[in-house]
Structure 1
Amino acid sequence: MAALRDIEEVSYGLLSLLGANRAEAQLRRLLERHEQMVERLLETQDDADQRLREVLAVEEEVAQSLLELKESMRQEGTRLQQLDDELQNANKEDACLQARLCQLTTELQELREMEADLQQQERKVDEDTTVTIPSAVPPWPHCVPAYPPGQHTALTEVYQ
Protein backbone atom coordinates (compact mmCIF):
# COMPACT_ATOMS: atom_id res chain seq x y z
CA MET A 1 0.00 0.00 0.00
CA ALA A 2 2.78 2.35 0.92
CA ALA A 3 4.60 1.23 -2.19
CA LEU A 4 1.63 2.18 -4.36
CA ARG A 5 1.59 5.63 -2.78
CA ASP A 6 5.27 5.93 -3.51
CA ILE A 7 4.66 4.92 -7.11
CA GLU A 8 1.88 7.45 -7.37
CA GLU A 9 4.13 10.10 -5.90
CA VAL A 10 6.85 9.21 -8.38
CA SER A 11 4.35 9.37 -11.21
CA TYR A 12 3.23 12.86 -10.12
CA GLY A 13 6.86 13.86 -9.81
CA LEU A 14 7.50 12.62 -13.35
CA LEU A 15 4.62 14.66 -14.65
CA SER A 16 5.84 17.79 -12.91
CA LEU A 17 9.32 17.27 -14.25
CA LEU A 18 8.13 17.07 -17.79
CA GLY A 19 7.01 20.62 -17.54
CA ALA A 20 10.25 21.94 -16.04
CA ASN A 21 13.60 22.73 -17.66
CA ARG A 22 15.48 20.15 -15.76
CA ALA A 23 12.98 17.54 -16.59
CA GLU A 24 15.39 15.06 -18.08
CA ALA A 25 17.72 14.91 -15.01
CA GLN A 26 14.82 14.72 -12.59
CA LEU A 27 13.16 12.12 -14.76
CA ARG A 28 16.25 9.92 -14.60
CA ARG A 29 16.43 10.29 -10.83
CA LEU A 30 12.74 9.52 -10.46
CA LEU A 31 12.98 6.57 -12.80
CA GLU A 32 15.93 5.20 -10.80
CA ARG A 33 14.00 5.70 -7.62
CA HIS A 34 10.98 4.06 -9.25
CA GLU A 35 13.07 1.05 -10.27
CA GLN A 36 14.50 0.78 -6.74
CA MET A 37 11.02 0.86 -5.25
CA VAL A 38 9.77 -1.77 -7.70
CA GLU A 39 12.78 -3.97 -6.89
CA ARG A 40 12.19 -3.43 -3.20
CA LEU A 41 8.50 -4.24 -3.66
CA LEU A 42 9.34 -7.44 -5.55
CA GLU A 43 11.88 -8.46 -2.89
CA THR A 44 9.34 -7.79 -0.18
CA GLN A 45 6.75 -9.80 -2.08
CA ASP A 46 9.24 -12.68 -2.54
CA ASP A 47 10.08 -12.59 1.19
CA ALA A 48 6.39 -12.56 2.08
CA ASP A 49 5.73 -15.52 -0.27
CA GLN A 50 8.66 -17.44 1.26
CA ARG A 51 7.48 -16.74 4.79
CA LEU A 52 3.94 -17.70 3.85
CA ARG A 53 5.20 -21.03 2.46
CA GLU A 54 7.21 -21.59 5.66
CA VAL A 55 4.17 -20.80 7.81
CA LEU A 56 2.04 -23.20 5.74
CA ALA A 57 4.68 -25.93 6.06
CA VAL A 58 4.79 -25.43 9.83
CA GLU A 59 0.98 -25.48 9.99
CA GLU A 60 0.93 -28.74 8.02
CA GLU A 61 3.51 -30.28 10.38
CA VAL A 62 1.52 -29.15 13.40
CA ALA A 63 -1.72 -30.44 11.90
CA GLN A 64 -0.08 -33.81 11.11
CA SER A 65 1.35 -33.98 14.63
CA LEU A 66 -2.08 -33.22 16.09
CA LEU A 67 -3.69 -35.94 13.98
CA GLU A 68 -1.03 -38.44 15.05
CA LEU A 69 -1.45 -37.38 18.67
CA LYS A 70 -5.23 -37.76 18.41
CA GLU A 71 -4.84 -41.25 16.94
CA SER A 72 -2.34 -42.16 19.63
CA MET A 73 -4.69 -40.88 22.33
CA ARG A 74 -7.56 -42.89 20.80
CA GLN A 75 -5.43 -46.05 20.79
CA GLU A 76 -4.26 -45.42 24.35
CA GLY A 77 -7.86 -44.80 25.39
CA THR A 78 -8.82 -48.14 23.90
CA ARG A 79 -5.87 -49.81 25.62
CA LEU A 80 -6.80 -48.13 28.89
CA GLN A 81 -10.37 -49.41 28.56
CA GLN A 82 -9.06 -52.94 27.94
CA LEU A 83 -6.82 -52.71 30.99
CA ASP A 84 -9.73 -51.41 33.05
CA ASP A 85 -11.88 -54.35 31.90
CA GLU A 86 -9.07 -56.77 32.76
CA LEU A 87 -8.69 -55.14 36.17
CA GLN A 88 -12.41 -55.46 36.87
CA ASN A 89 -12.35 -59.12 35.83
CA ALA A 90 -9.28 -59.73 37.99
CA ASN A 91 -11.01 -58.02 40.94
CA LYS A 92 -14.08 -60.24 40.47
CA GLU A 93 -11.91 -63.34 40.25
CA ASP A 94 -9.94 -62.19 43.31
CA ALA A 95 -13.16 -61.72 45.26
CA CYS A 96 -14.29 -65.22 44.29
CA LEU A 97 -10.93 -66.67 45.24
CA GLN A 98 -10.97 -64.78 48.55
CA ALA A 99 -14.43 -66.13 49.31
CA ARG A 100 -13.33 -69.65 48.38
CA LEU A 101 -10.18 -69.25 50.51
CA CYS A 102 -12.28 -68.18 53.49
CA GLN A 103 -14.58 -71.15 52.96
CA LEU A 104 -11.65 -73.57 52.68
CA THR A 105 -9.98 -72.01 55.74
CA THR A 106 -13.19 -72.50 57.71
CA GLU A 107 -13.47 -76.10 56.50
CA LEU A 108 -9.81 -76.72 57.39
CA GLN A 109 -10.36 -75.33 60.88
CA GLU A 110 -13.45 -77.52 61.29
CA LEU A 111 -11.49 -80.57 60.11
CA ARG A 112 -8.69 -79.80 62.54
CA GLU A 113 -11.21 -79.51 65.35
CA MET A 114 -12.82 -82.77 64.29
CA GLU A 115 -9.41 -84.44 64.14
CA ALA A 116 -8.58 -83.19 67.62
CA ASP A 117 -11.95 -84.49 68.88
CA LEU A 118 -11.36 -87.86 67.22
CA GLN A 119 -7.89 -88.13 68.71
CA GLN A 120 -9.31 -87.31 72.11
CA GLN A 121 -12.08 -89.89 71.69
CA GLU A 122 -9.52 -92.49 70.53
CA ARG A 123 -7.46 -91.85 73.64
CA LYS A 124 -10.56 -92.27 75.80
CA VAL A 125 -11.52 -95.46 73.99
CA ASP A 126 -7.96 -96.77 74.31
CA GLU A 127 -8.02 -96.00 78.02
CA ASP A 128 -11.48 -97.59 78.48
CA THR A 129 -10.73 -100.75 76.50
CA THR A 130 -7.42 -101.52 78.05
CA VAL A 131 -7.92 -104.99 79.55
CA THR A 132 -5.61 -106.60 81.96
CA ILE A 133 -5.39 -110.33 81.24
CA PRO A 134 -4.32 -112.31 84.24
CA SER A 135 -2.00 -115.19 83.51
CA ALA A 136 -4.09 -117.69 85.47
CA VAL A 137 -7.28 -117.20 83.48
CA PRO A 138 -7.81 -120.10 81.06
CA PRO A 139 -8.43 -119.36 77.39
CA TRP A 140 -11.95 -119.30 76.13
CA PRO A 141 -13.63 -122.63 75.30
CA HIS A 142 -13.49 -122.11 71.59
CA CYS A 143 -9.75 -121.62 71.78
CA VAL A 144 -7.27 -124.46 71.64
CA PRO A 145 -6.25 -125.47 75.18
CA ALA A 146 -2.85 -124.31 76.20
CA TYR A 147 -2.09 -127.64 77.89
CA PRO A 148 -2.00 -131.02 76.20
CA PRO A 149 -5.11 -133.22 76.82
CA GLY A 150 -5.08 -135.18 79.97
CA GLN A 151 -3.17 -132.67 81.93
CA HIS A 152 -4.93 -130.33 84.22
CA THR A 153 -8.22 -132.12 84.11
CA ALA A 154 -9.76 -129.50 86.24
CA LEU A 155 -9.17 -126.96 83.52
CA THR A 156 -10.52 -129.31 80.88
CA GLU A 157 -13.68 -129.75 82.85
CA VAL A 158 -14.08 -126.03 83.07
CA TYR A 159 -13.90 -125.79 79.33
CA GLN A 160 -16.64 -128.30 78.85
Structure 2
Amino acid sequence: MAAFRDIEEVSQGLLSLLGANRAESQQRRLLGRHEQLVERLLEAQDSGEQRLREILAAEEDVARSLLDAKERAHRGGAELQQLDAELRRAAAEDAGLQASLLQLSQELQELKETEAELKRQEREVDEDVTVTIPAAVYVAQLYRRSSKIEWDYECEPGAIKGIHHGPSVAQPIHLDGTQLSKKFISDYLWSLVDTSW
Protein backbone atom coordinates (compact mmCIF):
# COMPACT_ATOMS: atom_id res chain seq x y z
CA MET A 1 0.00 0.00 0.00
CA ALA A 2 2.86 2.32 0.83
CA ALA A 3 4.36 1.61 -2.58
CA PHE A 4 1.15 2.75 -4.30
CA ARG A 5 1.24 6.00 -2.36
CA ASP A 6 4.86 6.49 -3.40
CA ILE A 7 3.86 5.92 -7.03
CA GLU A 8 0.99 8.34 -6.68
CA GLU A 9 3.30 10.96 -5.19
CA VAL A 10 5.83 10.42 -7.95
CA SER A 11 3.10 10.66 -10.56
CA GLN A 12 1.81 13.90 -9.09
CA GLY A 13 5.37 15.22 -8.89
CA LEU A 14 5.90 14.39 -12.54
CA LEU A 15 2.72 16.10 -13.50
CA SER A 16 3.58 19.21 -11.52
CA LEU A 17 7.04 19.26 -13.06
CA LEU A 18 5.67 18.92 -16.54
CA GLY A 19 3.08 21.54 -15.87
CA ALA A 20 5.62 23.98 -14.46
CA ASN A 21 8.14 23.48 -17.25
CA ARG A 22 10.91 22.37 -14.98
CA ALA A 23 14.18 21.19 -16.13
CA GLU A 24 14.56 18.08 -18.19
CA SER A 25 17.07 16.62 -15.74
CA GLN A 26 14.57 16.63 -12.96
CA GLN A 27 12.13 14.82 -15.22
CA ARG A 28 14.65 12.10 -15.97
CA ARG A 29 15.50 11.76 -12.32
CA LEU A 30 11.83 11.44 -11.39
CA LEU A 31 11.18 9.02 -14.23
CA GLY A 32 14.12 6.91 -13.06
CA ARG A 33 12.79 6.99 -9.54
CA HIS A 34 9.36 6.07 -10.90
CA GLU A 35 10.80 3.04 -12.66
CA GLN A 36 12.64 1.97 -9.51
CA LEU A 37 9.47 2.28 -7.48
CA VAL A 38 7.49 0.25 -10.04
CA GLU A 39 10.20 -2.44 -10.01
CA ARG A 40 10.20 -2.48 -6.20
CA LEU A 41 6.40 -2.65 -6.24
CA LEU A 42 6.44 -5.61 -8.65
CA GLU A 43 9.13 -7.34 -6.60
CA ALA A 44 7.17 -6.68 -3.39
CA GLN A 45 4.01 -7.98 -5.07
CA ASP A 46 5.84 -11.14 -6.28
CA SER A 47 7.40 -11.61 -2.85
CA GLY A 48 4.01 -11.10 -1.15
CA GLU A 49 2.33 -13.57 -3.47
CA GLN A 50 5.13 -16.08 -2.85
CA ARG A 51 4.81 -15.62 0.91
CA LEU A 52 1.04 -15.93 0.68
CA ARG A 53 1.40 -19.21 -1.25
CA GLU A 54 3.91 -20.46 1.34
CA ILE A 55 1.60 -19.46 4.20
CA LEU A 56 -1.39 -21.15 2.52
CA ALA A 57 0.69 -24.30 1.91
CA ALA A 58 1.91 -24.25 5.52
CA GLU A 59 -1.68 -23.79 6.77
CA GLU A 60 -2.79 -26.66 4.56
CA ASP A 61 0.03 -28.86 5.90
CA VAL A 62 -0.84 -27.91 9.49
CA ALA A 63 -4.55 -28.61 8.86
CA ARG A 64 -3.72 -31.97 7.23
CA SER A 65 -1.38 -32.84 10.13
CA LEU A 66 -4.06 -31.85 12.63
CA LEU A 67 -6.66 -34.01 10.84
CA ASP A 68 -4.19 -36.92 10.73
CA ALA A 69 -3.43 -36.46 14.43
CA LYS A 70 -7.15 -36.41 15.26
CA GLU A 71 -7.69 -39.55 13.16
CA ARG A 72 -4.77 -41.30 14.86
CA ALA A 73 -6.08 -40.23 18.27
CA HIS A 74 -9.54 -41.55 17.35
CA ARG A 75 -8.10 -44.87 16.15
CA GLY A 76 -5.87 -45.03 19.23
CA GLY A 77 -8.90 -44.46 21.46
CA ALA A 78 -10.84 -47.21 19.68
CA GLU A 79 -7.87 -49.58 19.93
CA LEU A 80 -7.47 -48.69 23.60
CA GLN A 81 -11.13 -49.51 24.25
CA GLN A 82 -10.76 -52.79 22.35
CA LEU A 83 -7.61 -53.68 24.30
CA ASP A 84 -9.35 -52.77 27.55
CA ALA A 85 -12.27 -55.06 26.67
CA GLU A 86 -9.85 -57.87 25.73
CA LEU A 87 -7.99 -57.33 28.99
CA ARG A 88 -11.23 -57.61 30.96
CA ARG A 89 -12.15 -60.80 29.05
CA ALA A 90 -8.69 -62.24 29.66
CA ALA A 91 -8.94 -61.37 33.36
CA ALA A 92 -12.32 -63.11 33.57
CA GLU A 93 -10.95 -66.18 31.74
CA ASP A 94 -7.91 -66.16 34.02
CA ALA A 95 -10.15 -66.08 37.09
CA GLY A 96 -12.18 -68.99 35.67
CA LEU A 97 -9.01 -70.94 34.89
CA GLN A 98 -7.66 -70.26 38.38
CA ALA A 99 -10.90 -71.56 39.89
CA SER A 100 -10.80 -74.65 37.63
CA LEU A 101 -7.16 -75.22 38.52
CA LEU A 102 -7.95 -74.98 42.22
CA GLN A 103 -10.85 -77.40 41.83
CA LEU A 104 -8.70 -79.82 39.80
CA SER A 105 -5.90 -79.66 42.36
CA GLN A 106 -8.44 -80.43 45.12
CA GLU A 107 -9.80 -83.35 43.10
CA LEU A 108 -6.25 -84.57 42.48
CA GLN A 109 -5.52 -84.40 46.20
CA GLU A 110 -8.73 -86.32 46.93
CA LEU A 111 -7.76 -88.93 44.30
CA LYS A 112 -4.31 -89.29 45.87
CA GLU A 113 -5.89 -89.74 49.29
CA THR A 114 -8.36 -92.26 47.86
CA GLU A 115 -5.53 -94.10 46.12
CA ALA A 116 -3.55 -94.24 49.37
CA GLU A 117 -6.64 -95.52 51.21
CA LEU A 118 -7.25 -98.16 48.51
CA LYS A 119 -3.62 -99.30 48.72
CA ARG A 120 -3.92 -99.52 52.50
CA GLN A 121 -7.14 -101.52 52.21
CA GLU A 122 -5.56 -103.73 49.55
CA ARG A 123 -2.67 -104.45 51.86
CA GLU A 124 -5.12 -105.27 54.65
CA VAL A 125 -7.14 -107.53 52.32
CA ASP A 126 -3.95 -109.23 51.14
CA GLU A 127 -2.96 -109.82 54.75
CA ASP A 128 -6.47 -111.08 55.60
CA VAL A 129 -6.63 -113.28 52.50
CA THR A 130 -3.29 -114.88 53.23
CA VAL A 131 -4.65 -115.77 56.65
CA THR A 132 -8.26 -116.63 55.73
CA ILE A 133 -7.86 -118.36 52.36
CA PRO A 134 -6.42 -121.53 53.80
CA ALA A 135 -9.17 -121.57 56.42
CA ALA A 136 -11.87 -120.82 53.83
CA VAL A 137 -10.49 -123.51 51.51
CA TYR A 138 -10.46 -125.96 54.39
CA VAL A 139 -14.09 -125.14 55.30
CA ALA A 140 -15.18 -125.42 51.65
CA GLN A 141 -13.43 -128.74 51.25
CA LEU A 142 -14.91 -129.98 54.51
CA TYR A 143 -18.39 -128.87 53.42
CA ARG A 144 -17.98 -130.54 50.01
CA ARG A 145 -16.81 -133.78 51.53
CA SER A 146 -19.58 -133.83 54.10
CA SER A 147 -22.40 -132.63 51.79
CA LYS A 148 -21.05 -134.22 48.60
CA ILE A 149 -22.52 -131.33 46.56
CA GLU A 150 -20.62 -129.93 43.60
CA TRP A 151 -21.93 -126.40 42.88
CA ASP A 152 -22.44 -124.79 39.46
CA TYR A 153 -21.10 -121.27 40.02
CA GLU A 154 -21.80 -120.14 36.44
CA CYS A 155 -25.58 -120.43 36.57
CA GLU A 156 -27.90 -117.45 36.17
CA PRO A 157 -28.58 -115.22 39.20
CA GLY A 158 -31.28 -116.52 41.52
CA ALA A 159 -30.84 -120.13 40.40
CA ILE A 160 -29.23 -122.77 42.63
CA LYS A 161 -27.60 -125.53 40.59
CA GLY A 162 -25.22 -128.31 41.29
CA ILE A 163 -24.86 -132.10 41.56
CA HIS A 164 -25.29 -134.12 44.75
CA HIS A 165 -23.10 -137.21 44.72
CA GLY A 166 -25.20 -139.44 46.90
CA PRO A 167 -24.41 -142.90 48.20
CA SER A 168 -25.60 -144.72 45.11
CA VAL A 169 -26.32 -142.25 42.31
CA ALA A 170 -25.53 -138.60 41.42
CA GLN A 171 -28.59 -136.38 41.60
CA PRO A 172 -28.83 -132.92 39.91
CA ILE A 173 -29.92 -129.95 41.99
CA HIS A 174 -31.93 -127.22 40.31
CA LEU A 175 -33.80 -124.79 42.56
CA ASP A 176 -35.29 -121.35 41.78
CA GLY A 177 -34.12 -119.05 44.57
CA THR A 178 -36.63 -116.38 43.57
CA GLN A 179 -39.65 -118.73 43.99
CA LEU A 180 -38.64 -120.67 47.08
CA SER A 181 -37.97 -119.45 50.61
CA LYS A 182 -34.50 -119.58 52.08
CA LYS A 183 -35.73 -121.90 54.85
CA PHE A 184 -37.08 -124.38 52.34
CA ILE A 185 -33.84 -124.30 50.32
CA SER A 186 -31.75 -124.79 53.47
CA ASP A 187 -33.93 -127.66 54.72
CA TYR A 188 -33.85 -129.34 51.30
CA LEU A 189 -30.07 -129.11 51.03
CA TRP A 190 -29.59 -130.44 54.58
CA SER A 191 -31.89 -133.32 53.75
CA LEU A 192 -29.45 -134.41 51.08
CA VAL A 193 -26.58 -134.76 53.56
CA ASP A 194 -26.02 -138.35 54.66
CA THR A 195 -26.27 -138.53 58.45
CA SER A 196 -24.95 -142.03 58.78
CA TRP A 197 -21.30 -141.84 59.70
TM-score (norm 2): 0.63
Structure 1: which amino acid aligns with 2:78?
T
Distance 1:41 1:20 in 2: 28
Higher relative contact order (CA 8 A, sep 6+): 1
- Partner residue of 2:156? none
Q: 1:95 to 1:159 in 2, by over 3 A?
A: farther
SS in 1 for 2:97: helix
| Aligned positions of 1:18-57 closer than 5 A | 19=20, 21-22=22-23, 24-57=24-57
CA deviation vs aligned residue, 1:54-100 (integer Å, no higher than 9, x gap): 11012112211221221122112111211110111011011111011
Q: What amino acid sits opposite 1:82 in the alignment?
A: Q
Unaligned runs of 5+ in 2: 150-193
- Taking the TM superposition and a 5 Å limit, the aligned residue runs for 1:64-103 are 64-103=64-103
Maintained 8 Å contact 1:3/1:37: yes
Higher share in strand: 2
- Count of residues in Structure 1 that have an aligned counterpart in Structure 2: 150
Quick one: which amino acid aligns to residue 27 of structure 1?
Q
Distance change in 2, residues 1:159/1:68 (3 Å) = farther
The whole-number CA distance in structure 2 between the counterparts of 1:57 and 1:159 is 133
Moved over 4 A (4+): 157-160
Counterpart AA for 1:10: V
Using the size of structure 1 for normalisation, the TM-score is 0.75
Q: CA deviation at 1:141?
A: 3.2
Q: Which string of whole-angstrom CA distances, capped at 9 and with x for unpartnered residues, describes residues 7-53 of structure 1?
A: 3553564436754652x220121012112101211211111011101
**2:17/2:27 contact within 8 Å kept:** no
Match of 1:114 in 2: 114
1:3 aligns with 2:17: no
**Helix, strand or coil at the partner of 1:130:** helix
Alpha-carbon RMSD across the aligned residues, in angstroms, is 3.2
Distance 2:81 2:144 in 1: 85
Identity of aligned residues (%): 58
Consecutive unaligned residues in structure 1, runs of 5 or more:
146-156
Question: How far is the alpha carbon of 1:142 from its aligned partner?
Answer: 2.0
Q: How far apart in 1 are the matches of 2:53 and 2:38? A: 22
Distance 1:159 1:101 in 2: 72
| Aligned CA distance change for structure 1 residues 18 and 107 (closer, same or farther; 3 Å) | same
- Letter of the 1:124 partner, please give it: E
